[in-house]
């Protein structure tokens, strides 16, 4: 590739019918469930960016500080001719920090939210003109195609923000197996994982005083209204987030404040008063638990970095 980086967009976005099918299937199970991927329309992405700035939300600050301290080390491990693939790139904030030290040949941001993905990928390409920026709109829970231009590069998956905690442990293993198949033997993965800690610290992080996390949680209903011509009334639901000690995870719900019926894509879904719609899991892993999970998906540990409070760990994994 030339010293002037290229920009090319690959569209593997799931069809609208797939969204309707998956959402209705989740609302017909007991308890009712929605996938966290539907949080992210433009408003959801903006609210998530606000969450990362909140006093209570220690995750982003702690992970960013780990990057500051350990990026030189990480860059040395990665070597040259690297293609960095970010799973759920969002506003591409963290990659900007990495790019101050790690100089990949290509950056492949993967996200389901296509307009947000393209806007951020274009802005990044403008700021890093030598970098090949090759965004892919896809659902990263499914296998997806990489741009042909990166075929000969060493692939490194990048999954920050403890987003891996949104899967249950079986789902996390399946996801890591998919990443393994994408990066191939000799490829690597840099993943940020939130750790188990005091329940009050965890619960405060998802119940901020300003109500930004509540607005983020409720916005999933507005997103579904807009995409699927549904008639959720978000003001009839309340945000709930609590730690489940058996599962080792924060669980978020939207509690129906009244008995109500909602029309979605031509079907009617009923809620009883007090019923909780499950919207997100955030599993927390101690290092031995996470490394066992990574090992079961074919990854060994190259390095790991934690903060002094042992709140968060960055793992650099190598695919066997
Ligand atoms: C919490 S943001 C993380 C942004 C960024 N990686 C960070 O840590 O700052 C999650 C992003 O993942 C995307 N996302 C969530 N589920 C996804 C899925 N199944 N497939 C593709 N993108 C997904 C969302 O659209 C959103 O932009």
Q: Return the higher-pLDDT residue of 15 and 127.
A: 127
Distance, in Å, from the CA atom of 5 to the CA atom of 217, rounded to the nearest integer, reads 38
Q: CB-hemisphere CA count at 13 Å for 49?
A: 14
Residue 132 has pLDDT above 70, yes or no: yes
111 lines ligand 1 (CB under 6 A): yes
Q: Give burial (CB, 10 Å; 0-12/13-18/19+) of 171.
A: middle
Confidence of residue 1 (pLDDT cuts 50, 70, 90): very low
CATH 3.40.50.150 in the chain: give the residue spans.
Answer: 57-197+285-319
- Tokens 């590739």 belong to residue: 1
The answer to whether the CB of 139 is under 6 A from ligand 1 is: yes
- Evaluate: CB of 161 within 6 angstroms of ligand 1: yes
pLDDT of 15 strictly over 90 = no
In angstroms, the CA 159 to CA 161 distance is: 7
Residue 14 has pLDDT above 80, yes or no: yes
Kindly give the distance from the C-alpha atom of residue 255 to the centroid of ligand 1, in angstroms, as a whole number: 24
Phi, psi for 221 (deg, rounded to 5):
-70, -40
Please list the alpha-helical segments (H only) found in the chain: 16-27, 42-51, 58-78, 93-98, 114-127, 169-183, 199-205, 212-228, 287-296
HSE of 236 in the Cβ direction (CA atoms, 13 Å)?
15
pLDDT in tens, 264-319: 999 999 999 999 999 999 999 999 999 999 999 999 999 999 999 999 999 999 99
Convert the pLDDT of each residue in 156-179 to its tens digit: 999 999 999 999 999 999 999 999
* CB atoms closer than 10 angstroms to residue 142: 10
Give the closest residue (by CA) to ligand 1 atom 26: 90
In the reported structure, the alpha carbon of residue 161 is separated from the centroid of ligand 1 by a whole-number distance in angstroms of 9
What's this model's pTM, rounded to 2 decimal places?
Answer: 0.96
Return the closest-CA partner of residue 70 out of 158, 190, 193: 190
**Phi and psi at residue 184, to the nearest 5°:** 75, 165
Ligand 1 mean position to 87 CA, how many Å? 7
| Ligand 1, pocket-test mutation among 47, 111, 117, 138, most atoms within 8 A of CB | 111
DSSP summary character for residue 170: H
What residue's CA is closest to ligand 1, atom 23? 88
CB 124 within 8 A of CB 107: yes
Q: What percent of the chain has pLDDT over 90?
A: 94
For residues 120-146, average pLDDT: 96
Q: Assign residue 290 a region: left if phi > 0, alpha if psi is -120 to 50, beta otherwise?
A: alpha
List, for residues 199-211, the tens digit of each pLDDT value.
999 999 999 999 9
For 99-130, the pLDDT digits (tens) are 989 999 999 999 999 889 999 999 999 999 99
Domain 57-197+285-319: give its CATH superfamily.
Answer: Vaccinia Virus protein VP39 (3.40.50.150)
Q: What is the DSSP letter of 33?
A: B
Residue nearest to atom 17 of ligand 1 (CA): 37
- 118 Cβ partners below 8 Å, 6+ apart? 9, 135, 137
Nearest Cα residue to 241 out of 218, 269, 272: 218
Residue 16 has pLDDT above 90, yes or no: no
pLDDT value for 228: 93
pLDDT higher than threshold 70 for residue 2? no
Q: How far apart are CA 318 and CA 300, in angstroms?
A: 5
Neighbours of 126 (CB within 10 A): 10
159: CA distance to ligand 1 center in Å? Answer: 9
Supply the mean pLDDT for the chain.
96
Angle between helices 287-296 and 169-183 (to 10 degrees): 50
Of 18, 50, 88, the residue with max ligand 1 atoms within 8 A of its CB, to mutate for a pocket test, comes to 88
Tell whether ligand 1 has an atom less than 6 A from the beta carbon of residue 37: yes
């Amino acid at each position: 590739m030339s010293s002037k980086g290229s920009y090319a967009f690959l569209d593997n976005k799931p069809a609208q019918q797939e969204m309707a099918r998956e959402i209705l299937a989740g609302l017909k199970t007991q308890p009712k469930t929605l996938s966290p991927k539907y949080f992210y329309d433009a408003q959801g992405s903006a609210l998530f960016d606000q969450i990362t700035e909140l006093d209570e939300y220690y995750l982003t600050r702690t992970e960013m500080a780990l990057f500051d301290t350990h990026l030189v080390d990480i860059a040395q491990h990665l070597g040259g001719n690297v293609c960095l693939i970010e799973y759920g790139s969002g506003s591409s904030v963290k990659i900007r920090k990495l790019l101050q030290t790690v100089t990949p040949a290509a950056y492949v941001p993967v996200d389901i939210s296509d307009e947000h993905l393209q806007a951020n990928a274009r802005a990044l390409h403008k700021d890093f003109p030598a970098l090949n920026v090759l965004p892919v709109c896809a659902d990263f829970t499914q296998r997806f195609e990489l741009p042909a231009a990166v075929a000969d590069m060493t692939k490194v998956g990048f999954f920050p923000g403890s987003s891996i905690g949104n899967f249950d442990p079986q789902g996390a293993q399946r996801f890591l197996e998919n990443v393994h198949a994408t990066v191939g033997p000799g490829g690597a993965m840099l993943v940020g994982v939130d750790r188990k800690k005091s329940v009050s610290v965890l619960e405060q992080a998802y119940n901020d005083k300003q109500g930004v996390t509540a607005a983020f949680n409720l916005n999933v209903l507005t997103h579904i209204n807009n995409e699927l011509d549904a008639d959720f009334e978000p003001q009839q639901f309340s945000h709930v987030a609590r730690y489940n000690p058996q599962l080792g995870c924060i669980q978020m719900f939207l509690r129906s404040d009244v008995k109500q019926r909602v029309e979605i894509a031509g079907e009617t879904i009923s809620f009883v008063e007090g019923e909780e719609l499950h919207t997100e899991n955030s599993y927390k892993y101690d290092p031995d638990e996470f490394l066992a999970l990574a090992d079961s998906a074919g990854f060994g540990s190259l390095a790991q970095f934690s903060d002094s409070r042992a709140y968060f760990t960055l793992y650099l994994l190598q695919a066997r």
